[in-house]
Amino acid sequence: MSAVERTRLAAGLEASRVLTGLWQVADQERGGDALETERAARALEPAVDAGFTTVDVADHYGSAELIAGALQRRRPEIRVLTKWVPEPGVSSRTDVEAAIERSLDRIGTGRLDALQFHAWSYPDPGWLDCLFHLMEIQAEGRIGQLGVTNFDAVHLDLAVRSGIPIVTNQVAYSLVDRRPAGPMAEVCRTHGVGLLAYGTLAGGLLSDRWLGAAEPPIDDSLTWSQMKYRRFIDQAGGWDRFQVVLRAARRVADRYRVSIANVAVRYVLEQPAVAGVIVGARPGERTHLEDNLRLFDFSLNERSRAELAEAQAGLDPIPGDCGDEYRRPPYLTASGDLHHHVSHFPAPYAVRDTDRGLELAPEAGFPEAVRAGPDIRISGVTPTHRGRLIGGGDIRSQTHFVVDRMEGALQSLKARLADVVRIRGRTAEADWPGVETVLRERLLSTVNVARAAEQPSHPHRVAIDVEART
């Protein structure tokens, strides 16, 4: 068999192109009993021997960080990529410090190889605070590389242009879910960000076991991953159309004398911007090590790619961009909602009652944001946060952040973007096409959007005034 392919994610961080994912540890422990750490670590050593030397974990994958730490002590050559997924809302520098120290302690190291951050809500600028705090901790030497997980193309681009050194974005990517092939691939190409793909086997549903099988119900007879990706299959058009893809994958697999799972993973490995694919492991249970090693014995030719594309054409696109399954309906999670993930979504900005109506507190940084009865006025919204220019010098990124701020202000004033009736943009004439395009992308086409004659002051290139009515 061929050697496991490797990739350089960043300076000082090399990874096997198939990473061992330990998200299923949480599923193994859902009965309340934690795995025995050393025994689980020993069970993963054959994969390390074979060349799978990179492990992906998270702060919320049960005891996965403990197991990865035990494995790294036994096998120092492995690299551990972990994640921090905080509750929505404000996280202070102290909060971020505590989260990082917890992962350092659980893994048993003084420096994380990589830390990947998940943001729940872009209208709440707390996600940027978290990343800026993580940059500071990285500069102090406790984090090697910064990545993100489930970011969409707009906000990955915005974050990198704002000076945040992101090297990877972990997103769902499979024969069923091709969202990363859109704008995300171009953003990654522009900034040199590598995609780490998960869900590539759809919780094991993209395998020979399910070829010709009856449609399983979404219930506790399935693993959490299978429950989640059954929802993806429903969104893509249902079980019968999914079977068309499985049959095509089987025909391709027959030519290479490999499994459907091999074809599914190889397909994603060969997509633009994909640095690696995360394949889940259940320590101490059945291993697919020999099958995974066959991934590096073949590549898909033009005929195979065309055959898969023909089957995929019968699927409906998964809605939205990468990560939207966690930010807006339909929530494509194991439970079909977010109750297993978050307890609440606080208002992005503090409000106060005044003689004018309901206003955002001054520290929100809006010159005016007030609600009087059904009418809302928000003026002078710029692409700045806590004195920082967000989006760098790019007019589209600046405008996207302005819309995020505007949406956060509306949420705090108990309104929505859909309630906006009029927008006035202050920007240079040469910048207006980019500003208007973003506004049209993010708002209803019926909104009155116009450019004002005056221009904003340096360094931001756009400012927005908004009127809304509920």
pLDDT for 371 equals 97
Q: What does 160-222 look like in DSSP terms, one character per residue?
A: HHTT--EEEEEEE-SSS--GGGTHHHHHHHHHTPEEEEE-TTGGGTSSGGGTTPPPPPSSTTS
Residue 264 pLDDT greater than 80, yes or no: yes
Read off the pLDDT of residues 300-329 as tens digits, 9 standing for 90 and up. 999 999 999 999 999 999 999 999 999 999
**Eight-state DSSP code of residue 409:** H
- Predicted local distance difference test score (pLDDT) of residue 286: 79
Q: What is the pLDDT of residue 29?
A: 85
Query: 155 CB contacts (<8 Å, ≥6 apart)?
Result: 119, 122, 400
pLDDT band at 463 (very low <50, low <70, confident <90, very high): very high
- Mean pLDDT, rounded, for 103-119: 98
pTM of the entire predicted model: 0.96
Q: Beta strands 375-381 and 368-372: pairing type?
A: antiparallel
What mean pLDDT do residues 400-404 have? 98
pLDDT tens digits for range 336-385: 999 989 988 999 999 999 999 999 999 999 999 999 999 999 999 999 99
pLDDT > 70 fraction of the chain, expressed in percent and rounded: 100
Query: Amino acid identity of 28?
Result: Q
User: Does 426 have pLDDT greater than 80?
Assistant: yes
Q: Please give the pLDDT value at position 157.
A: 98
Look up residue 242 and give its two tokens: 């999914």
Check pLDDT > 80 for residue 456: no
**Amino acid found at 56:** D
Average pLDDT over residues 380-402: 95
Q: Which two tokens stand for residue 345?
A: 């979504």
Q: How much is the pLDDT for 35?
A: 94
Retrieve residue 349's tokens: 């900005």
For residues 102 and 219, give the distance between their C-alpha atoms in angstroms, rounded to a whole number. 33
pLDDT of residue 30: 86
Residue 252 binned pLDDT confidence (cut-offs 50, 70, 90): very high
Nearest to 340 by CA among 235, 224, 231, 232: 224
- pLDDT given at position 31: 82
Model pLDDT, residue 434? 96
44, exposed or middle or buried, with CB in 10 Å at 0-12, 13-18, 19+? Answer: buried
Q: Work out the average pLDDT over 231-238.
A: 98
Mean pLDDT (the chain) is 95
In the predicted structure, residue 444 carries a pLDDT above the cut 80: no
The pLDDT score that the predictor gives to residue 291 is 94
For 136, list phi and psi in degrees, rounded to 5: -65, -40
* Statement: residue 78 has pLDDT above 90: yes
- pLDDT score for 44: 97
What confidence score (pLDDT) does residue 278 get? Answer: 98
Provide the pLDDT for residue 124: 97
Q: What percent of the chain has pLDDT over 90?
A: 91
Tell me the mean pLDDT in the region 60-66: 96
The token pair that represents 144 in the structure block:
């090697």
Strand positions, DSSP E, 38-178: 54-56, 79-84, 112-117, 143-149, 166-172
pLDDT at residue 12 greater than cutoff 80: yes
Per-residue tokens: 168: 């990877």
